[in-house]
Structure 1
Amino acid sequence: MKTKWLKMIAVVVLALGVMAPATGFAADNSKKAIDEKLGVPIVVYGANLSEVEKESVKKSLTVDEEPEIEEITVSGQDLVKYIKDSNSSSRMYSSAKITRKDAGKGLVIEIVTPENITQVTAEMYANAMLTAGIEDATVQVAAPKAVTGHSALVGIYKAYEVTTGETLDIERTDVANEELSVATSIAESSGVDDAKVAELLTEIKKEIAELNPATREEVQQIVENQLSKLEINLSEQDHQLLVDLMDKISKLDIDFSKWSEQLNDISNTLQEKFGALMEDEGFWAGVKNFFANLKESISTWFN
């Protein structure tokens, strides 16, 4: 009996010995390779991060998993470079990792610390990046504490120029920053959901790309069309901000025929992420009933 067990153990040990090299070989093959054509990912850190905060950001952006990476810092001086009339003393905390992709792959944006990016959504970043002239990249955004997320866009500009060797059009980066500000302002002041604001901006820009409006009046009509279609009501101030922004965008030096496809990608992403939820009246009725019942339950506690 003992001999039988010894033979079985020997077989198992032999099998493990044969399998071990194969397993090791597979692990080596699974490692990320350095992209010799498009270059290594670039991580851009907000200049006001402490060393502890920087280490937290590195972990969030999985910097250690990259075989090779380039690291840079974005400061208030960069803010002045890309955005007119900005404050060079601005605090910069939100950070990003940008990886170039082959032409036609589009933009993939991920906020890896959503609890700390309080105002800007992934779709807002994507919209602003297209306006700025950034295409075909994977971008991850992170912050070690609660921030609005606006400075990450400046970091993305700087990283994109470093990784591509191209110079972004400052007029476009300035308008892109205005777009981000208008988007977050509308979401905050009008009570419109972030996803709905992103959808509004995307659909207006799609119609601008398709119709190529020649006058401000035509741009305003496009804005009105989409506000009505999406059933969004804005204050007079927000309405004016939106029309002013879209009028500027319509006058930028952009290949609008190429833009349509990229905007469709953002639109499809929004539909996939939020479409079914937004259209599910039963879901929202359930939410409403839940809070109504909760209110009644709490009121009984004090009777």
Structure 2
Amino acid sequence: MKKCMSIWVFITVLFTAFVVPSTGFASTGDQGINEKLGLPIVVYGEALSQSQKTDVAELLEVNQHDQVDEFTVNGQDLANYIGGNPNSNMYSSVKIIHKDNDAGLNIEIVTPDNITQVSKEMYTNALLTAGVENADVLVASSVKVSGHSALTGIYKAYDAKGVKLDEDRMQVASEELDIATDIAEEEGIDQAKISELLTEIKKAIAEQDPATKEEVEQIVQDQLQSLNIELSPEDRQRLTDLFDQMRSLNIDFDQVKTQLEDLTGNLQDLINDDGFWKSLQTAVQNFFTSLSNFVKSLFN
């Protein structure tokens, strides 16, 4: 029995070492205080109890930093930033770590089971619309929530640190998140598919620079057709109105397009990387060679 257990322990460790690739979100551990970029920012939902707040702080790895700036977001903030209900209970919490220029925007939902309506791609799209870039953003909740209030927490974090985001862009970004989650739920379309649609529409706007609402409507229709997505006339109109609003704002769609391509291109780069597949093949071969040698040694 002990010998069998040893074999399985060895297999598990060996497989992990040789085969499982090393992936993950950008490190948020303790690297000291970055005097140029400032302290990490943590924003807690006001509706959290003290024990829930403690749980969220652990999920966001707050204790991994020497110092953090902490704030609380409430219903009044929701009303102030995006015109929401001031009596709303706010549970979603975020940690933001500012990065150097060109680092890109990286989102991680630490509690995916508790953020029920918003995917990290949806957050990324909305935050780029709002003008947030070059940051690591972690989202967490200790209870099941839609995830919309996290956006308000991010807005408050920037405001509290003296970074003024454009109010019109914040409003449109929040509308974008609402429309994305509504369509995904009402039309029964996968969140990733909706995020892909939003991304491709933005890329097309960057390339075509539409001058009229009719041209925006054509872009929306073309991307729906390209992705084989069927929407009701009402939802198609909502998308057209949304992106026509964006067109009228001071948004550098070329810059947005670049960041979106960075977001969606990483996995494709990995798939097309011959070196990666050769390394994986070598790792698998090494695994089975080591396994064979170990098993033989047990019976010698």
Same fold (TM over 0.5): yes
Q: Which residue of 2 aligns with 1:108?
A: 106
TM-score between both structures, scaled by the size of structure 2:
0.78
Q: Which of 201, 204, 209 is the matching residue for 2:206?
A: 209
TM-score between both structures, scaled by the size of structure 1:
0.77
Moved segments of 4+, more than 4 Å: 269-274
Q: Which residue of 1 aligns with 2:255?
A: 258
Q: Which of 214, 232, 237 is the matching residue for 1:235?
A: 232
1:168 maps onto 2:161 in alignment? no
* Secondary structure, aligned partner of 1:108: strand
Q: Deviations over 1:223-259 (max 9, x none)?
A: 0111011110011221111111111111111122322
Q: Which residue of 1 aligns with 2:138?
A: 140
Larger radius of gyration: 1
Q: Which residue of 2 aligns with 1:221?
A: 218
CA distance in 2, matches of 1:273, 1:123: 18
Q: Deviations over 1:185-241 (max 9, x none)?
A: 110011111001000001101111121111010001000111011110011221111
CA distance in 2, matches of 1:201, 1:272: 21
State the Cα distance separating 1:66 from its structure 2 match: 1.1
Structure 1 runs not aligned, ≥5 long? 1-29, 275-303
Q: Deviations over 1:162-193 (max 9, x none)?
A: 34x22111111000000000000110011111
* Secondary structure, aligned partner of 1:43: strand
CA distance in 1, matches of 2:82, 2:195: 21
CA distance in 1, matches of 2:129, 2:236: 20
* Secondary structure, aligned partner of 2:264: helix
* Secondary structure, aligned partner of 1:116: coil
1:40 maps onto 2:39 in alignment? yes
Q: What is the percent sequence identity of the aligned residues?
A: 55
Distance 1:252 1:31, change over 3 A: closer
Q: Deviations over 1:23-43 (max 9, x none)?
A: xxxxxxx95211111011000
CA distance in 2, matches of 1:96, 1:257: 28
Contact 1:186 1:192 in 2 (8 A): yes
AA aligned to 1:159 is: A
Q: Which residue of 1 aligns with 2:18?
A: none
Q: Which residue of 1 aligns with 2:49?
A: 50
Contact 1:41 1:69 in 2 (8 A): yes
* Secondary structure, aligned partner of 1:39: coil
Q: Which moved more, 1:177-186 or 1:165-174?
A: 165-174
Q: Which residue of 1 aligns with 2:61?
A: 62
Q: Which residue of 1 aligns with 2:278?
A: none
Q: Deviations over 1:141-175 (max 9, x none)?
A: 00001000000000011112334x22111111000
Contact 1:202 1:267 in 2 (8 A): no
1:246 maps onto 2:243 in alignment? yes
